[in-house]
Structure 1
Amino acid sequence: MPRPLAWIGRLLFVVIAVVVLTPAVVGWRVWYEARQDERPRSDAIIVLGAAQYDGRPSPYFEYRLRHAFALYRDGVAPAIVTVGGKQTGDRVTEAAAGRDFLIKLGAEAGDIVAVETGRDTLQSMVAVGAVYRERSWDSGVVVTDPWHSLRSNKMAQDNGIDAVSSPTRSGPSVRTRDTQFQSIVRETGGYLYYVLLGRSRHTM
């Protein structure tokens, strides 16, 4: 029979392997999902909110909205769902700012559903899931930054949405290698936190 020290050594090896390999695998999945661009015919395009300044979308948000509008214009879905509530001190929700911006781009107002609930991705996806159930929708194309796609899709699927991702390829989220690396590290932690604890780390 193996000696106690041998068992301890094996246990430590397994623990270290799990601690090292799990983040590495998730990080690879974040990177891989960021490279996908799926555009099946769907019930709606779900564009996740980011900061807005008194009704004006931030650069991150603007690029998401422009990409969502391009999908809508190409006939990927007949509706766009804008997502996001208010942060402290805001007068306008992210969802409302996104809706107004899409209308200026040329989207029909009646084709936009503004879900003005949620201060993070998880809260927003819970609210979007409720809207989907009310409208008997099933499928959605999630538009966000590339590195945010894996976690966003997981949260959407956990709320009853048959979700795929078509992330934006332009804007500050993909501008530099440093930004991309930092985003992958952050999203790896965010995904693990959500999967292990079922909660959001309040990152959008």
Structure 2
Amino acid sequence: MKLFLRVCLLSRALLLIYAVWTACSIWSFSQVTETKKTDAAIVLGAAVHGSEPSPVFQKRIDHAVQLWENDQVDALLFTGGRAEGRETAEAEAAAAYAVENGVEEESIYMETRSRITEENLKYAKKEAAGHQFNTFTLVSDPLHMKRAEAIAEDLGMDVISSPASDSAYQTWKTKIPFFLREWFFYTGYQLLAPFRF
């Protein structure tokens, strides 16, 4: 009985350590910005209101447009499909917004099938292959970057991280729920790693 209790306590302690380590990893990585020039910025999709990008999505697009203007990427690859009941795909709304903000149409590419982060990156990789893009700058909100880069690397993509510097998640009231959501999904993604291949 004592052995069983010790094993239970040890298991709980290890789980707690792993949870804290994962949380710290997500938080610290959110502060990382890499600046090497790449072929394309992959902008991870977010909600669309009507045909307009949501404030969260706009911040991601604005950041990608800035990368393009500063010649840090040659192209922008927007991701995101149509939510149920919507006529405009996330990527389509992003592309239109980018054009309105000065990006040349020939520098814009899209995938419009994805619904979740894994699909964003999987379909973006397929789209990129058709245009001979080999290196990528990932753009999303800071707390999303750890999971996004892990997925991209597992897909064999050559990526760097460039979180939206002016994320819509600025207050603790908005940051904490997003952080907990990312912690949950990133932890699940890592724990399921042995079963993905």
Q: Please say whether Structure 1 and Structure 2 have the same fold, judged by a TM-score greater than 0.5.
A: yes
Per the alignment, residue 184 of structure 1 pairs with 179
Q: Using the alignment, how far apart are the partners of 2:167 and 2:137 within structure 1?
A: 19
Q: Structure 1: any 5+ residue segments left out of the alignment?
A: 199-204
Contact 1:138-1:160 within 8 A present in 2 as well = no
Tell me how large the CA RMSD over aligned residues is.
1.5
Q: Using the alignment, how far apart are the partners of 2:191 and 2:15 within structure 1?
A: 13
Per the alignment, residue 166 of structure 2 pairs with 170
Per the alignment, residue 128 of structure 2 pairs with 132
1:94 equivalent to 2:90? Answer yes
Q: Using the alignment, how far apart are the partners of 1:46 and 1:143 within structure 2?
A: 6
With the length of structure 1 as denominator, give the TM-score of the two structures.
0.89
Q: Equivalent residues in 2 for 1:85-164 (5 A)?
A: 85-164=81-160
Q: Give SS of 2:15's match.
A: helix
Contact 1:95-1:115 within 8 A present in 2 as well = yes
Q: 1:138 to 1:14 in 2, by over 3 A?
A: farther
Deviation at 1:129, TM superposition (A): 1.7
Q: Using the alignment, how far apart are the partners of 2:154 and 2:7 within structure 1?
A: 33
The Cα offsets for residues 86-120 of structure 1, whole Å up to 9 and x where unpaired, read as 00010010001101111111111011111111111
One-letter amino acid matched to 2:7: L
Q: Which residue of 188, 193, 196 maps to 1:193? A: 188
Contact 1:68-1:143 within 8 A present in 2 as well = yes
One-letter amino acid matched to 1:107: V
Deviation at 1:54, TM superposition (A): 2.4
Deviation at 1:139, TM superposition (A): 1.5
The Cα offsets for residues 113-145 of structure 1, whole Å up to 9 and x where unpaired, read as 111111111111110121233333322111111
Q: Give SS of 1:113's match.
A: strand
Contact 1:59-1:171 within 8 A present in 2 as well = no
Q: Give SS of 2:37's match.
A: coil
Deviation at 1:182, TM superposition (A): 2.1
Contact 2:110-2:127 within 8 A present in 1 as well = no
One-letter amino acid matched to 1:122: E
Q: Using the alignment, how far apart are the partners of 1:99 and 1:128 within structure 2?
A: 14
Q: Using the alignment, how far apart are the partners of 1:171 and 1:29 within structure 2?
A: 19
Q: Using the alignment, how far apart are the partners of 1:94 and 1:64 within structure 2?
A: 12
1:36 equivalent to 2:4? Answer no
Contact 1:85-1:117 within 8 A present in 2 as well = yes
1:71 equivalent to 2:67? Answer yes
Q: Give SS of 1:79's match.
A: strand
One-letter amino acid matched to 2:82: K
Q: Which residue of 18, 21, 28 maps to 1:25? A: 21
One-letter amino acid matched to 2:146: L
**Total equivalences in the alignment:** 193
